[in-house]
Amino acid sequence: MLVELVTTGSELLLGEITNYNSAYLSKKLNEIGYSVIYHTTVGDNPQRMEEALKVALSRVDLVITTGGLGPTQGDMTKIIGARLMGMPLVYDDAIAESVRQWVCIHHGGAAMTENQKRQAMVPQGAVLFDNGAGTAPGVAMQQGGKTLVHLPGPPTEMRWMYENRLKPWLLQTFGSQGCIASRYIKIYDLGEAFIEEQLMDLVQGQSNPTLAMYARPGFVEVRLTARADREDQARELLAPLEQEVRRRLAGQIVTFDDDTMAHVLGNIVRQGGYSVSAAESCTGGLVGSLITDVPGASDYFRGSAGTYCNEMKEKILGVSHDTLETYTAVSAQTAAEMADGSRRLYGTDLAVSTTGIAGPGGGTPDQPVGLVYTGISGPWGTVTHRDVYHGGRAEVKRRAALRAIYYLVHYVVNHTKKA
């Protein structure tokens, strides 16, 4: 099954937004063995869109478009697609009713506009997919051995519809085309060159499964991929290679697949029965936000005290006035007292703190922009770390918050290993 993804929208051609939909759909379709061989992006221009869809239908079996199903005049994908597939557009009462209900719930009982009614026009004879995350329905049309599918453009709607409607329909209509299984291992402690030395012989001379490595900001990603008829067979092919990689990286802090360092934190504090809290200055709340991105974090996380001024560091966290006067807020001493204070305030076993200069202003020769102190307080004492991060304000915050969680994991792993 050869597939082409056609993304529509002039904002993509103007470089205003990045095309995340094609990467998502490619990954998902490859997982069920469908080969995506082209991506095309075209703007909200009827002639060019028709041309692009014609080219796509001529060279693959299945064309999936995203975007252009909304209620505005610029939304023309469905109209052009239906014409190419020879299916007239007709008004669908059921779709109209579901659009009406959505408008009612989400826009407080307002009546449908003429534009919203356009969304209820659907190609006669097409398979319709209802939209659990918005109003525009999806459409699948089959004609002369070719299949044309229209999905909505907003990523949350597109993803909902793929997972809940299109994927089941594809599997039912065309069956699985074999399966690709992947496993991702992220390594945080070692450089790419060292990891390559450890794993080079596994990279070379492997065809199924394969192993590849990518340097990312703050970690190295190792990807294992296997192809087979069924997923369990592909997973079976992966298992021995994964075991060997794990053996060679034993003792390193790693994360698997989509898990983040916050997931690793969740696992190890659950194991140890520890409760966790935070205290944040320069990260503003991002450490708490990342920790609570993990479902069930409320089992061990009690909160993060954001103290964005000296007064609150004293009042809420009990950082001493002397420390702030003598060492300033951006110091190892303050980071340590913030972590201790968070542990006391929340009554937790472990606490992590951040204090630094996110920029762009506020830097000095001694305390440059990007300087961040991290404090860890726990049953094995209080430790601090000093880092200088590069990049803009948001990047400094992000890297400091991610690293803070890593340091907390490292603290626990390090001490429980020794015990």
* Spatial CB neighbours of 71, under 8 Å, sequence gap ≥ 6: 113, 115, 116, 118, 119, 135, 136
Query: Of 13-21, 87-95, 239-247, 411-419, which segment contacts its own copies by CB under 8 A?
Result: 13-21
Among 1, 161, 268, 291, contact with its own copies (rule: CB under 8 A): 291
Q: Which residues pair with 71 in a beta bridge?
A: none
| 304 touches its own copies (CB under 8 A) | yes
Binding mask 24-43 for its own copies (x = CB under 8 A): xxxxxxx-----xxxxxxxx
Distance between the two ends of the chain, CA-based, in angstroms?
A: 55
Smallest gap from residue 186 Cβ to its own copies (A): 12
Instruction: Count interface residues toward its own copies (CB under 8 A).
Output: 114
The answer to whether 179 contacts its own copies (rule: CB under 8 A) is no
- Taking CB under 8 A as the binding criterion, the range among 121-129, 195-203, 242-250, 374-382 that sits at the site for its own copies is 195-203
Compute CA distances 303 → 180, 297, 404, whole Å.
40, 10, 15
Q: What does R_g of the chain's alpha carbons equal in angstroms?
A: 27
Lookup result for tokens 């290679």: 241
Close Cβ partners of 110 (under 8 Å, ≥ 6 residues apart): 103, 104
Candidates 8, 65, 66, 307: give the one binding its own copies (CB under 8 A).
307
Nearest Cα to 284, choosing from 403, 393, 407?
A: 393
Q: Could you tell me the smallest distance in angstroms from the CB atom of residue 87 to its own copies?
A: 25
Nearest to 268 by CA among 385, 411, 375, 418: 411
Instruction: Give least dist CB 376 to its own copies, A.
Output: 18
Cβ closer to its own copies: 196 or 259? 196
Q: Is 345 helix (H, G, I), strand (E, B) or coil?
A: helix
Exactly one of 97, 201, 236, 293 binds its own copies (CB under 8 A); which one? 293
Site for its own copies in 395-414 (CB under 8 A): 395, 397
Q: Which stretch binds its own copies (CB under 8 A): 76-84, 170-178, 226-234, 356-364?
A: 356-364
CB of 405 to its own copies, least distance (A): 12
The site map against its own copies for 118-137 (x = CB under 8 A) is --------------xx----
Instruction: Find the binder of its own copies among 50, 192, 231, 314 (CB under 8 A).
Output: 192
**Binding string, residues 240-259; x marks residues near its own copies by CB under 8 A:** --------------------
**Rule CB under 8 A: is residue 289 a binding residue for its own copies?**
yes
To which residue do tokens 């407080």 refer?
A: 108
CA distance to 259, 278, 343, per residue, from 289 (Å): 15, 10, 18
In the complex with its own copies, the residue whose CB is nearer, 200 or 239, is 200
| By CB under 8 A, residue 283 contacts its own copies | yes
136 CA to centre of own chain: 24
Under 8 Å between Cβ of 50 and 80? yes
The closest of 202, 292, 285, 195 to 242, measured between CA atoms, is 202
Which of positions 49-108 make contact with its own copies (CB under 8 A)?
51-52, 55, 59, 70-74, 103, 106-107
Of positions 94, 175, 201, 214, contacts its own copies by CB under 8 A: 214
CB neighbour list of residue 325: distance below 8 Å, 6 or more residues apart:
none
Question: Which residue, 24 or 274, has its beta carbon nearer to its own copies?
Answer: 24
Can residue 309 be called a binding residue for its own copies (CB under 8 A)? yes
The residues near 185 (Cβ < 8 Å, ≥ 6 apart) are 221, 222, 223, 224, 242, 245, 246, 249, 254, 255, 256
Residue in 129, 219, 301, 406 binding its own copies, rule: CB under 8 A: 301
Interatomic CA distance for residues 102 and 129, integer angstroms: 15
Beta-bridged to residue 208, according to DSSP, are none
- Of 232-240, 249-257, 290-298, 403-411, which segment contacts its own copies by CB under 8 A? 290-298
Nearer of residues 3 and 87 to its own copies, judged by Cβ:
3
